[in-house]
């Protein structure tokens, strides 16, 4: 099933805390710059029985599949985009931008069948993802369709399928937040998000053949029947959609949130992996954002040495009013809380003076890694800083603030890597 969404961000004449213009080409999916040209987003909803993550939809099941789903649907009631912004906008990045339903019909919802995979197009046909930001996540929110909302299916017991009914009303609502890397670029103007319910993860670690069968020959999973298994299935339910992270409100009004571990581990990477992309500038300014504001004037160019090594040359002709009047930024630095990291880069300048090196968040601009004010010398020196993030985030922002005075910088070999398991 496919549908197209669109948004137009209201740009206000407010002072942006941080603004930017990209100094290079971003990866087409990593931090999609959704602005010019417009990027439409389609989505699929389906069920998958495989253990392996696949780009293509897989709706068929093996003949001896231990669990089959016959009917499963929920009400889609909200879609949000989460982006970083470097212009003044009327959006709280921590809350994301509601892109559906429209503001004049906030109670609108759509029934979505995961087992049928039916098409939903009409409500979204006039929407177009178009804003001034760098896309981080897409959030989709669902709720049970009513008091009798269930998943109906079959469990293979002793070579025969026994019907089961799983009560979905253990939840009031669930929100799935998919990382930009989970969005597939299908053309220059369209990206696709597959929202797939992975049955193997739903029943992972559970032996449903031990469930009590009711007198009518059906297995019921609810708060009155097979309660322990129902609670265990509830614990698996939201993560079975395989988003990067999720949050929910259960039937009692309790809130919960978490990352899906293996998806999160894939984003974080292995210990000693450099979380900075293109830290040696071999691909020019790809993955980097170079920005001036508050009267800052500067240029940034990648220079190749005779040895083949490259470095970034930043010429500041007006330092502006603040250290962050001139910034070199890389977003989407994944950090794990309470694990030790090391940040290393080489920098020198034609004029000795202070800069600010910082790792913070993109949405509320809080420091989550470190903030240091090293003195840059006129000969090449290595900046090294060990730090322990205060929170886990897939979207930390590394920045070098180079403003406040006229000078020329030379920067190379930027690395941030974990040194503790």
Q: Is the pLDDT of residue 354 over 80?
A: yes
In contact, 369 and 343? CB cutoff 8 Å: yes
Considering 235, 268, 301, which residue would you say is the last residue of a domain? 268
What's the pLDDT tens digit per position in 182-229? 988 777 666 778 899 999 999 999 999 999 999 999 999 999 999 999
Cα–Cα distance for residue pair 402/323, rounded to 1 Å: 6
What's the pLDDT tens digit per position in 216-265? 999 999 999 999 999 999 999 999 999 999 999 999 999 999 999 999 99
Do 219 and 325 lie in a common domain? no
Q: Is residue 366 part of a domain?
A: yes
What tokens appear for 312 in the block? Answer: 């970034």
In contact, 184 and 98? CB cutoff 8 Å: no
Q: How many domains does the chain have?
A: 2
Cα–Cα distance for residue pair 326/399, rounded to 1 Å: 10
Q: Is residue 199 part of a domain?
A: yes
Q: Is residue 299 part of a domain?
A: yes
Do 122 and 259 lie in a common domain? yes
Q: Which residue has the higher pLDDT, 150 or 106?
A: 150
Do 238 and 302 lie in a common domain? no
Q: Is residue 273 part of a domain?
A: no
Cα pseudo-dihedral 49, 51, 56, 58, rounded to 10: -10
Percent of the chain topping pLDDT 70: 82
Q: Is the pLDDT of residue 318 over 80?
A: yes
Q: What is the CATH number for 332?
A: 2.60.120.260
User: What average pLDDT does range 33-60 have in this prediction?
Assistant: 60
Residues in the chain: 421
Q: Is residue 134 part of a domain?
A: yes
Do 110 and 176 lie in a common domain? yes
How wide is the angle at C-alpha 189 spanned by C-alphas 186 and 191, nearest 5°? 40
Q: Residue 18's pLDDT band (boundaries 50, 70, 90)? A: very low
Mention every residue, 6+ apart, whose C-beta is less than 8 A from residue 104.
Answer: none
Do 24 and 125 lie in a common domain? yes
Do 240 and 186 lie in a common domain? yes
Q: Is residue 117 part of a domain?
A: yes
In contact, 340 and 325? CB cutoff 8 Å: no
Do 239 and 108 lie in a common domain? yes
Q: Which residue has the higher pLDDT, 143 or 57?
A: 143
Range of the domain at 160: 7-268
Do 249 and 303 lie in a common domain? no
Strand order in the sheet with 356-361: 289-292, 326-335, 393-401, 356-361, 367-372
User: What average pLDDT does range 389-403 have in this prediction?
Assistant: 97
Do 87 and 146 lie in a common domain? yes
Q: Is residue 406 part of a domain?
A: yes
* Distance in Å from the first CA to the final CA of the chain: 41
Q: Is residue 115 part of a domain?
A: yes
């Amino acid at each position: 099933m496919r549908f197209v969404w669109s948004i137009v961000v209201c740009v206000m004449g407010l002072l942006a805390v941080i603004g930017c213009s990209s100094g290079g080409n971003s990866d087409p999916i990593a931090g999609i710059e959704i602005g010019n040209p417009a990027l439409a987003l389609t989505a699929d909803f389906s069920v998958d029985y495989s253990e392996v993550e696949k780009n293509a939809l897989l709706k068929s099941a093996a003949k001896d599949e231990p669990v089959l789903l016959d009917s499963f649907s929920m009400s889609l009631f909200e879609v949000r985009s989460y982006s970083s912004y470097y212009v003044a906008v009327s959006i709280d990045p921590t809350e994301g931008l509601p892109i559906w339903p429209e503001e004049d019909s906030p109670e609108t919802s759509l029934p979505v069948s995961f087992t049928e995979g039916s098409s939903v197009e009409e409500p979204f046909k006039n929407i177009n993802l178009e804003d001034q930001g760098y896309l981080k996540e897409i959030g989709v929110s669902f709720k049970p369709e009513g008091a009798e909302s269930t998943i109906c299916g079959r469990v293979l017991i002793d070579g025969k399928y026994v019907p089961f009914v799983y009560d979905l009303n253990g939840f009031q609502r669930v929100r799935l937040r998919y990382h930009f890397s989970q969005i597939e670029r299908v053309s220059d103007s369209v990206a696709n998000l597959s929202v797939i319910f992975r049955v193997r993860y739903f029943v992972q670690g559970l032996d449903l053949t031990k469930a009590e069968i009711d007198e009518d020959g059906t297995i019921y999973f609810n708060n009155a029947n097979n309660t322990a298994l129902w609670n265990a299935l509830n614990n698996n339910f939201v993560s079975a959609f395989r988003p990067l992270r999720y949050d929910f409100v259960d039937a009692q009004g309790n809130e919960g949130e978490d990352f899906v571990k293996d998806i999160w581990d894939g984003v974080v990477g292995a210990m000693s992996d450099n979380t900075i992309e293109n830290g040696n500038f071999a691909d020019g300014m790809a993955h980097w954002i170079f920005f001036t504001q508050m009267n800052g004037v500067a240029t940034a160019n990648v220079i190749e040495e005779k040895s083949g090594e490259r470095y970034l040359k930043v010429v500041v002709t007006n330092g502006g009013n603040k250290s962050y009047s001139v910034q070199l930024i890389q977003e989407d630095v994944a950090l794990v809380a309470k694990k030790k990291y090391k940040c290393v880069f080489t920098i020198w300048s034609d004029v000795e003076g202070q800069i600010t090196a910082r790792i913070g968040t993109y949405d509320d601009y809080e420091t989550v890694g470190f903030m240091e004010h090293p003195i840059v010398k006129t000969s090449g020196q290595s900046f090294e800083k060990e730090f322990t993030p205060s929170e886990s985030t897939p979207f930390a922002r590394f920045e070098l603030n180079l403003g406040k005075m006229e000078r020329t910088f030379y920067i190379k070999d930027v690395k941030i890597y974990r040194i503790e398991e």
